[in-house]
Structure 1
Amino acid sequence: MGLNFFNHRQRIGLLAGLMLAAGPVMGDSPQPSIAMYGAPALPADFTALPYANPDAPKGGRIVLGEMGGFDSLNPFILKGNAPSQVTAFTVETLMGRSLDEPFTLYGVLAESIQTDEARSYAEFTLRENARFSDGSPVTPEDVIWSFETLGTKGQPRYAGAWAKIAKAEVTGPRSVRFTFNTVDRELPLILGLRPILKKAQWEGKAFDESSLEPPIGSGPYVVADIEPGRFISFRKNPDWWGKDLPFYKGMHNLEEIRIEYYGVDTALFEAFKGGALSTYRETNPAKWAANFDFPAVQSGEVLKAEIPHSRPSGIEGFAFNTRNPLFADWRVREALTLAFNFELVNQTLTGGVQPRITSYFGNSFLGAAPGTPAEGRVKDLLTPFAADLLPGALDGYQPPVADGSEANRKNMRAAAKLLEEAGWSVQDGTLKNAEGKPFAFEILLTNGQDEMISAANIYIEALKRLGIEARLTTVDNAQYKERTTDYKFDMTHYIRSLTLSPGNEQMLYWGAKGVTEPGTRNWPGINSPAAEAMIQTMLSAKDPQEFADATQALDRVLTTGRYVIPVWYSKVARIAYRKGLHYPDRLPAYGDWPGWQPDVWWMEK
C-alpha cells in the first residue's frame, strides 16, 4: 500500500514547486486558511484532507508501545514528564496543519484568520459550535489566556512568539486580535498552532506545577484511564464538536488509543510479537530484514509497510555540549568526529543500508549540497560573517568518510594532528593538555537505547587509541530529562526532526539564549550570530526563493559548526501492524509523521 519510487520522486518535485512557485498574497480580509507563500492547495469548500479516507469506518482500538514512562499529564511545562499524546489527542489549536503541504494551515477552532500583507497582526474568529470536552464554549478569553500562560509559564518554546505580541484584544463575541511588535511573517501561523486550554480549569491552580490532572481540551479524545509508568488510555469523546468538520473527515476514527510503556526496546518488540501491541516501528533496516519473519507475519496476521516521505533528514547523532570548555574548540570537535568510524558503526548495527546525514536539511531542496561552495544569495548572506564562520561554510564541507576498517588509520592520524594543534598531546598513553589534565568525558544515554549504546561502545574503543577516556552512563527517562533540561552532560544522543517549513522553532533549537536558559532544545549550546541572522532572514523573507536561500545558509553554519557527530537517517518508515488496521492508499508528503498514525488509520468492522 505504499508509493513506488517514481511516484515518490514526483511528489518531491511537486512539493518543491509548491514552495518555490509564486502565488497570490493573502489580502486583509477573513480567510479560512493561510499559507506562508502563495495560496493554500485546497479550496475553501474542500471536503477532506487528501490523505484521509472520509468513508473510513468508526470504532475499534489501537495499542501503541513506547519506551520510558510518565509522571505528569501537563505536557506544556518544564516540570514532569508527560505523554506527548495528551496534546495531540485531547487539545486543539486554532488552525490545523496539512501533512501534504509545507507552511499551510486550515481553520479548526477558528473559522477564519485575517492579516495584512505585512503580517503585522492576526485576527482569528472562532467557530460558533467550538466546545471543550465538558461542553463549555471555547471563547476569545480562553485563547488570550492560553497564549499568555504558555508564553510566560510554559516551556521555553512558547515564550518567543508571546514576546512578539504588542497587544492582545477581544474584538467581538468570537474574535480575538493579536498585534505584533516585530517583523515575523510566520507569526500568524505560529499562533494558529498554539494549544487552546480552558481558562476556568486553572483558576486557583499553579499552571507550572506538575500534575496528573488532565487538561480540559476540545480535541477528539479525553484521558480515560492512566497508570503512571505503565499505560495511558484515550477514549473518543462521543460529543466531540469537530466530528463533522471537513478538516477532520476520515480522521480520529478509532474509539480507543492506548499507550503501553516499556523499559527496553527488546521488551517492546516482544510485546508486539506476542500480540499485546497493534503496531511497531522498526528504525533499523537490518532488524527489519532479519526479525520480521515470526509466525504472525508468515500467516498474514501481521503486515509490513514501508512509508516514503519528502522530509529533510534532520540531525541525529552524538551532540557535544560546547558549554564544556573541553569541546569549545572546533578542532577538537572535528577530531572527535574523525574518530567516529561511521562506516564501521553503520555496517555493524544497520547492515550499512542507512545513508549518513550530511547536513541538517539534507534530502530536501532546503539543504546545502555537501562539499560544494556557497554561491549566489547564499554566499551573499554568509559573507558578512566570514571572519567567524568555521572552515567549510563558504567553500564546502561534508562529514569525514572512514575506510570502514576498525583501525580507521587515515582519519585517526588527522584527528591526532588536530588535537595537537588544539593543545593536546599524548603523555604516558593519555591525552593531556598543557596543564596535564587528561582528556576525559561522559556519554549520557537512557536505559534501553540499545542501538546508541552499541554505537557509543564502538566509539569509546576508538577514542582509546587517541588516549581519550570516554565513559558511558545510562539513566532512566526522568533523570535524563532533568540532566538535559539543565544541560548537565558532556555528550549525548541528539535528534531534531526538521520539516519543509522551518521557522521560529529554529531559534529555540539553535539560538544563543539556549546557552544559559534551561529547557530549550539547543542542547549543544550553539552561540552563532550567523545562525541567528539566517533565521531572522528566514522569518522576514517575502518570497520562497529568499526563504530557501536563507535556510541553505543556516544549514551551512550548523553543519560546519561540528556540533553533532551525525549518524544515519531513513528515507522510509518501516511499520508492522496487525491485520484489520488500515490506512489510506494516498500518503501525505510528510509520510509517517505526527498526524498520520493513528489519526487517519481505521479498524475494519
Structure 2
Amino acid sequence: MLVIGRTARARLTATLLAATLFLPPAVYAQEQPAFRNGLSLVDEPKYPPAFEHYDYVNPDAPKGGELKLSQTGTFDTFNPILDKGEAAAGLPLVFDTLMKSADDEISTAYGLLAEGVSYPDDISSATFRLRQEAKWADGKPVTPEDVIFSFDKVKELNPLYASYYKHVTSAEKTGERDVTFRFDQKNNRELPHILGQFLILPKHWWEGQGPDGKPRDITRTTLEPVMGSGPYRIATFSAGATLRYELRDDYWGKTLNVNVGQNNFGAISYTLFGDRDVEFESFRSGNTDYWTENQASRWATGYDFPAVKDGRVKRESLPNPLRATGIMQAMVPNTRRAPFNDERVREALNYAFDFEEMNRTVFYNQYTRIDSYFWNTELASSGLPEGAELAILNEVKDKVPPEIFTTPYANPVGGSPQTSRDNLRKAIALMKEAGYELKGNRMVEAKSGKPFSFEILLSSATLERVALPYAQSLKKIGIEARIRTVDASQYTNRTRAFDYDMTWIVWGQTLSPGNEQLDFWSSKAAKEQGSRNYVGIADPGIDALIEKVIFAKDRQTLVAATKALDRVLLAHHYVVPLYYKKDATIAYWDKFGRPAELPKYAIGFPDIWWSKAATAK
C-alpha cells in the first residue's frame, strides 16, 4: 500500500506503500463473488457492513474553527496526479477515493465512493460499485466514467502510479454504477485493495472549459482551483505562498460511517516557507498551530519559550504512527554512475559514517541506527536466515550474495577515537580493493590518478548538520564530498531525473509490502525516470524476491519473503543507513480537542481532531 506524503514520493510518502490481501476462506468458498464493504491486507476487516463510525472518533465532534498549518517548499499546481511541478499541500482534502483507511487496523479500508467491492476466486479482476448518493461539488453524480478517466490518466501521466498499477490492464463500465478492473496476473491478492487508493477526478470538469473559455488540459499544471467530491474546496490562495481550504456544507459524504467524527475544521490554511527554521519561528509566534519536529537538537533545547512553560503549547512523543511503519532513511549513492556501481565503494562509504559520535554530539542520543529496509517492524531481517525465509533464499541461491547464509548484516559501530580509526582503515582497504589508493591526502583511482569526489544533493539546509560531519569524515580518507542544497522544485526535478551522485531519501513501508516494491527496487524501475528506485538497483535476485513478496500466499510466507528481500538489499550495501526515532514528536498550541484515545496506528491529525473554538461556539 502506498504511503502519501508532502512530495510526490512523500505525498503519494509521508512521505507512497503496498501489501498482500488476505482473503478469508469463506470468500473462496462462494461460487459467485459477493460485494463486501471492506478489504484487509493482514486480517479480516474489523467493522461489519452496518457499522456507525470508526471506534476511535468522537461522533459528536463540533464542526468549525480554523486550523493554521505550514510547510517548507512551494507549489505551482493544483493538478493532483501530474508528475510535473510542485503540487499544493492538502490537495487530497478536495477529492475522495473509492475506499478509506481505518487507522485502528493494519492496511484495512472501507467503502467511501464505493459502497462495495467484489472479486472472483482467482482474483483476475475486481469490481467496485459506486454509491448512488456520491456527488461532485457541482451536484453531478460520480459515475463509472469518472473512475475510468481517473485511472487511465493517473497511469498515463504519473510514472509512480504506472508502476504501482502495472498489472491492472484495463478499467471498464460493467453496470450502471459498476467499474471492473482487469488484471494480467491471477492471485495477486493486493490488487483489489490498492485500487481503492487513487484520487477520483471529475471527467466532465477536466474535459470542460476553464474561466478563460479555453479547454482544460489534465496533462499540464494549473492554478485554477480544481473541483472534487471531497469534504473541502480551495477557497483562496497566493501561488507558492498561502493556501486556504474551506469545509463544504454540501459535502455528499459528511454523514457516511467512514466520515463520521472527521473533517471537523471549518477551514484549513497553509503558509509556505523556504526555510525550516523560519517556519518554526512562525509556530513559536502562534501563526502556525501544529508542528512535527524532525530535529533532535531543537526538540532537546528549542522549546524553552514562554508558551511552552505556561502550557499554551503542548509537546508529545507518540508511538502510534510508527507502530505499523517500517523506515529506511539513508544517504543514497546513484549506482547508475561510477564508482557507486562498485559494491566495495558503497560499503566503504558506510564505514566512514560514524553514527554513534553524531548521535552523541548532534542528536542528544535521541536516535537509533537503522539496520533494515523494514526497520522497527516484524518484517526486518536479523541474525541468519532460518525456516521459511531460508527456504525462499535457497530457491534463488544462485542469484544472491553467498554471505547472507553465513554472516548477519551489521552496520559499523563507532563512537570512540579507536573505533573511528578502525572503521576508516577498513574503508581505505575496501577502496583499495575497488582500484583506489591514497596519494598524499587524496583518494585517487590507481589507473588514471583521478580523484574520488562527488556531490551530495540535499533538499533542506537542516540536513546539512548531518551531511557536513559526514563529509569531514570522508575527507579523512581523501574523499571529497561537496554539499549542494537546492530549493524544492529543483530537488524534485533532479531526483525525478536521477541527476545526482548521492542524495538523502526516506522510504516508508507498511506491514504489508507488495507492488510498490517494484517501484523501489526493480530493474525495470531503475530505468524509469520518476520511479522511487533512487539507488538504481537492477539485480535479478532482488527482482525474483520482489515477486515472492507480491505473490505470497499467506501472512507467514509474506513475512518470510520480505525478510529475505531485506537481507539481500542489505548485503549489497546499496545505501548508507542513517537513523530514526521510534516515536513521532509533535507540538501544538492548546486550541484543539481530540478523542481521549488515539487510533493505534495514527495520530489522527487533523482528521479526527477539532477546534476548541468550535466547541465554545
Q: TM-score by structure 2 length? A: 0.90
2:480 equivalent to 1:480: no
Match of 1:282 among 293, 308, 329: 293
Distance 2:449 2:470 in 1: 24
1:443·1:489 contact (CA, 8 Å) conserved in 2? yes
Distance 2:52 2:365 in 1: 44
Q: Which moved more, 1:577-586 or 1:131-140?
A: 577-586
- Indicate conservation of the 8 Å contact 1:338/1:411, yes or no: yes
Q: Which structure 2 residues correspond to residues 184-583 of structure 1 after superposition, within 5 A?
A: 184-203=188-207, 204-309=215-320, 310-369=323-382, 372-390=383-401, 392-395=403-406, 396-405=408-417, 408-433=420-445, 434-446=447-459, 448-450=460-462, 452-583=463-594
Shift of 1:392: 4.7
8 Å CA contact 1:69, 1:477 repeated in 2: yes
Say how many residue pairs are matched. Answer: 579
Q: Which runs of 5+ in 1 are unaligned?
A: 1-17
| 1:172 counterpart = 2:175 | yes
Task: Describe the shift of the 1:211–1:20 C-alpha distance in structure 2 as closer, same or farther (beyond 3 A).
Answer: closer
Counterpart mapping for 1:44-83 below 5 A:
44-83=49-88
* 8 Å contact from structure 2 (residues 355, 415) kept in 1: no
Q: 1:78 to 1:30 in 2, by over 3 A?
A: same
Amino acid in the other structure paired with 2:305: F
Q: Please tell me whether the aligned partners of residues 52 and 257 of structure 2 are also in contact (alpha carbons under 8 angstroms).
A: yes
- 1:156 alignment partner in structure 2: 159
CA contact (8 A) 1:391 1:560 kept: no
Aligned counterpart in structure 2 of residue 602 of structure 1, from 602, 610, 616: 610
SS at match of 2:356: helix
**Which amino acid in structure 2 is aligned with residue 378 of structure 1?**
E
- 2:318 touches 2:583 (CA, 8 Å); kept in 1? yes
Q: Deviations over 1:289-316 (max 9, x none)?
A: 3221211111211111221131334111
Name the CA distance, whole Å, in 1 between partners of 2:541 and 2:88: 35
State whether residues 366 and 581 of structure 2, in contact with CA within 8 Å, keep that contact through their aligned partners in structure 1: no
**Partner in structure 2 of residue 101 of structure 1:** 105
Distance 1:260 1:137 in 2: 33
**Farther-moved stretch of structure 1 (549-558 vs 485-494):** 549-558
Q: Is the 8 A contact 2:413 2:419 kept in 1?
A: no
Paired residues of 2:21 and 2:189 also in contact (CA < 8 A): no
Q: Aligned partners of 2:571, 2:226: CA distance in 1, in Å?
A: 42
Q: Matched residue of 2:404: which SS?
A: coil
SS in structure 1 of the partner of residue 601 of structure 2:
coil
Task: Check whether the contact 2:22–2:40 (CA below 8 A) recurs between aligned residues.
Answer: no
Q: Which residue of 1 aligns with 2:116?
A: 112
1:121 counterpart = 2:129:
no
Distance 1:19 1:549, change over 3 A: farther
On the 8 A contact 1:147/1:162 being kept in 2, the answer is: no
Per-residue CA deviations over 1:202-225 (Å, capped at 9, x if unaligned) read 224332211112332111111111
Percent of paired sites with the same residue: 39
> Using the alignment, how far apart are the partners of 2:249 and 2:478 within structure 1?
64
The CA deviation at 1:162 is 4.5
Aligned to 1:15: none
- Specify the alignment match of 2:16 in structure 1: none
Q: Is the 8 A contact 1:304 1:575 kept in 2?
A: yes
What letter matches 2:325 in structure 1?
P
Tell me if the contact between 1:514 and 1:521 (Cα under 8 Å) persists in the aligned partners.
Answer: yes
Write out per-residue CA displacement over residues 556-603 of structure 1, whole angstroms, 9 at most, x where no aligned residue. 1222222221111111111111112122222223234xxx21111101
One-letter amino acid of the counterpart of residue 190, structure 1: I
CA contact (8 A) 2:542 2:568 kept: yes
1:99 Cα deviation after fit: 1.9
Q: Tell me the amino acid that sits aligned with residue 403 of structure 1.
A: G
Q: Quote the Cα distance in structure 2 between the aligned partners of 1:507 and 1:152.
A: 18
Q: What whole-Å deviation, never above 9, does each CA across 1:11-34 have from its counterpart, x for those lacking one?
A: xxxxxxx99997654651111111
CA contact (8 A) 2:21 2:193 kept: no
CA contact (8 A) 2:21 2:190 kept: no
Residues 107, 330 of structure 1: alpha-carbon distance in 2 compared, 3 angstrom cutoff: same
CA apart distance, 1:179: 2.1
The offset of 1:233, in angstroms, is: 0.9
Query: Counterpart of 1:332 in 2: which secondary structure?
Result: helix
Structure 2 distance, partners of 1:53, 1:558, is 43
For 2:324, what is the secondary structure of its paired residue? coil
- Does the 8 Å contact 1:253/1:600 carry over to 2? yes
Partner of 1:136: 140
- Cα pair 2:76 2:87 within 8 Å, conserved: yes
Segments ≥4 residues shifted beyond 6 Å: 18-23
- Report if the CA contact (8 A) 2:73-2:272 is conserved: yes
How many angstroms does 1:186 deviate by? Answer: 0.8
Q: Give 1:535 deviation, angstroms.
A: 2.1
Measured in 2, the distance between the counterparts of 1:240 and 1:152 equals 29
**Counterpart of 1:5?**
none
Q: Which moved further from structure 2: 265-274 or 373-382? A: 373-382
What is the CA distance between 1:114 and its match in structure 2? 0.7
Please give the alpha-carbon distance, in whole angstroms, between the structure 1 residues aligned to 2:260 and 2:509.
27
1:442, 1:471 within 8 Å by CA — same for their partners in 2?
yes
1:320–1:491: 8 Å Cα contact kept in structure 2?
yes
Q: Distance in 2 between matches of 1:444 and 1:478?
A: 13
CA distance in 2, matches of 1:375, 1:117: 32
Whether the 8 Å CA contact 1:22–1:37 is kept in 2: the answer is no
Quote how far apart the aligned CAs of 1:237 are: 1.1
> Secondary structure of the equivalent of 1:459?
helix
- Give the CA deviation at 1:288: 1.7
Residue 563 of structure 1 aligns to a residue whose secondary structure is coil
Tell me the distance in 1 between the aligned counterparts of 2:169 and 2:375: 37
Deviation per CA, 1:449-497: give whole Å up to 9, x if none.
Answer: 32x2011110111111111111111111111111111000001111112
The farther-off stretch of 534-543 and 458-467 is 534-543
- The verdict on how the C-alpha distance between 1:111 and 1:314 changes in structure 2, with shifts beyond 3 A counting, is same
After superposition, give the CA deviation of every residue in 1:128-177 in whole Å (9 maximum; x if it has no partner): 11011221110001111111111112x11221355423443212211111
1:237 and 1:33 mapped to 2: Cα distance?
26
List runs of 5+ in structure 2 lacking aligned partners.
1-19, 208-214
Root-mean-square deviation (CA, aligned residues, Å) is 2.0
